[in-house]
Amino acid sequence: MDVNGRPVAGAQVIFDRDDGAPGASAVTVFSGDDGRFAIPGRYPEITPESVPLVVRSLDHEQVGVQWTVEDKGESRSLRATLIVRPRTNQADVAPASAWLARIGDRARQSKLIMDCIDCHQVPSSEVRNFARLIADQHAPNPRLAREQSWNAIVKYMNYLSRWEFSRGRRDPGEKIDTDAVYAVDNGAETAALLVDIFDDRLDSISGYSWGAPLIATRDTTIWEFEIPHPNAVREALLLGDPPKLWVADVSANRVFAVDIASGDAEAHDVPSDVLMGPHSLHRGNDGSLWITPLFNGIVAHLDVESMTWRTWHLVTNDGRVPGIHDLSFGYEHELVTDREGRVWFSDIGNTAVGYFDPARGKTEIWNAPPSPGRPGRAALYGLIMTRDLGEVWYSQLANGTVGGFDIEKQSFIGPIQFADPNAGPRRITISDDDVIYFALYGSGQIAELDAKTRELIGVYDLPDRASAPYATTWDPLRRVVWIATANGDVIYRFDPKTKSFGVLPLPREQAFLRMIDVDPRTGVLITSYANIVDIVQGPRMALIIDPGDGAYPERFTLPEAPVQTKRATPRGNPLRTSPAADARDGARLVDEARCDACHRIDEPSLGPPYVAIAARHAPSKDVMIDVLAHKIVHGGGGNWGLVPMVPNQWVSLDDARVMAEWILGLAEGSGPTR
């Protein structure tokens, strides 16, 4: 209730659990019209002092909590009254997309989304922190400071992206792959837009609304399971009996299997002689797991009951390696094969569609036709198959184009272009009536196309067009489309009958979603927070979401762990909580923190060389170790020009001291070199 005693409806109540507690890392519920809420499950280990309940609401902030303990024989219940007050500044809760409303030009907004939001939200709290550092320097020429700073940050982002997508494919010391994906190729234009729209501290925003009716009820529950760090989590599925969350780690050759009762995560290596980079997870109609990689020709299959693996390394007859992205989905969001038992795929590397025969290993691809007037990289992305198994349809992310392929005739349908070349059609779905739904990432829309007539039914604006819709999923029982967003911290529900949207807010900032799967038995939604670059500070979790609408006959219940169970796998990022490192580890910590994106030992880069920093502070080295450590963690500027140093919030202060000591030691000629 608010400070006037009135009930507050639609507020999120988040129960963040202790690190050692079994099961979900956090549980989120919503208040009803009467303000009441209930957290499902039994938590016998808790006391009122150990239950950190947090209220998250666009228009209210929490100011207090009052606990009442009710003993009922052998059981006990806890009752909490959470007190909130109205607020105007929504900066702590509004999604990153709220700030992009400043861009009045739709074309510029969609281009920025396509350039920047593959890897992180814009402007996330990290981006807003950097804007504050620029403003707080009080530079004599503020615009010049912004120009230099945002140009530097675009170069920094490109370096991190190229570093990430070169990981596992180079030897130590090998040059970063400058042709890696997700690099901004028009950096000056992007920086110029950032200069114009981010001209203040970005610490205040008001008047934002979700833009659609809330679909949350008192029965809506979100369970979040944190994945052990370090990782680059991508997609998640709920498979097996008892069910486990299977989660892809694109930065390694592994998938995690999370026991949803205990919360423990087991890592399973994909048997491959080269780095696969598990990216997309597909549920087989037998409950098995199919895995595709990040743009190479490996497909893996796991029978989750017998834990038996099979992998294929695909090469066409003419020697081409497919850049596999998606396998062929059907309307039930399960892998389907064509009439000859072949699995189809989208080929992002060759801008093609193709198949492989699991029995014979044969692979063949067909290059998609060019999109008239839209040359350059096409990025053929999502893929689905029609109900008669006769056609596959695809999206092309980079040129705003979609099309189909007639399997029997071996001929393409289309291409069909959206008006905005940066519309960004991404992951797609199909209904049991062969209606296809495209998530238009750049333009913030959903497109509806009839595969039978091969005509667009309509294109519909999302409630927030800067929310970057990543994927669509058809729900065959509810007969709605679920839409995952990457920049809006929400899931949208689209009703094809009424052409209307509902919204389900998520309990985290940087809730960077990928695919959504609908559990065929219980109707719960399975998804993940998937910030791809491992130093992005967004959450890395797999989610189970009960919409609370009672649409499926079988209700999902999270299994309970034994009372004494403790999690065997740690939560949290060890980069934040690691014990103090030895001084000789300074060079290693500097390398792990990607400091070479901006600094070199003895030559200028985006920032000053280490030897110059060491020389400047040599007279006060003992004091400056602690000062520089705080600057490493919190960022700041003013000593070396107009560009602030980017904060490194994921580095612990103890490790930052070791890094600072190593840097300052270079002035004495005693520090290690690399």
Residue partners of 361: CB distance under 8 A and separation at least 6: 312, 314
Which class in CATH covers the domain with range 574-668?
mainly alpha
pLDDT, one tens digit per residue, over 374-409 is 988 899 999 999 999 999 999 999 999 999 999 999
Report whether pLDDT(674) > 80: no
- How would residue 672 be classed by pLDDT, with cut points 50, 70 and 90? very low
Angle at 92 between CA 89 and CA 94, to 5 degrees: 80
Query: Is the Cβ–Cβ distance between 225 and 545 less than 8 Å?
Result: no
Give residue limits of the domains in the chain: 12-86, 96-197, 216-311+532-560, 314-505, 574-668
Where helices occur in 105-203 by DSSP H, the ranges are 106-116, 125-135, 142-166, 187-197
Q: What is the pLDDT of residue 158?
A: 84
Tokens 């620029």 correspond to 134
Task: Count other Cβ atoms within 10 Å, centred on residue 572.
Answer: 12
Task: Tell me what pLDDT residue 673 has.
Answer: 42
Task: Tell which residue, 662, 650, 642, has the closest CA to residue 150.
Answer: 642
Q: Six-digit token pair at 16? A: 């963040």
For residue 368, the model assigns a pLDDT of 97
Mean pLDDT of 100-126: 93
pTM of the shown model: 0.93
Tell me the average pLDDT across 452-467.
Answer: 98
- Distance (Å) of CA 94 to CA 202, 210, 223: 12, 9, 21
Per-residue pLDDT, 576? 37
Banded pLDDT at 165 (limits 50, 70, 90): low
CA–CA gap between residue 513 and residue 511 (Å, rounded): 6
Beta-bridged to residue 43, according to DSSP, are none
Question: Residues 16-58: pLDDT tens digits?
Answer: 988 778 899 999 999 999 999 999 988 876 777 777 899 999 9
- The CATH number that domain 314-505 falls under is 2.130.10.10
If you average pLDDT over residues 563-570, what whole number do you get?
Answer: 63
Neighbours of 125 (CB within 10 A): 18
Q: What is the pLDDT of residue 534?
A: 65
Element (H, E) at 447: strand 445-450
What is the C-alpha separation between 519 and 237, in angstroms, rounded?
Answer: 8
What pairs with residue 355 in β-bridges?
344, 364
Tell me if residue 617 falls in helix, strand or coil. helix
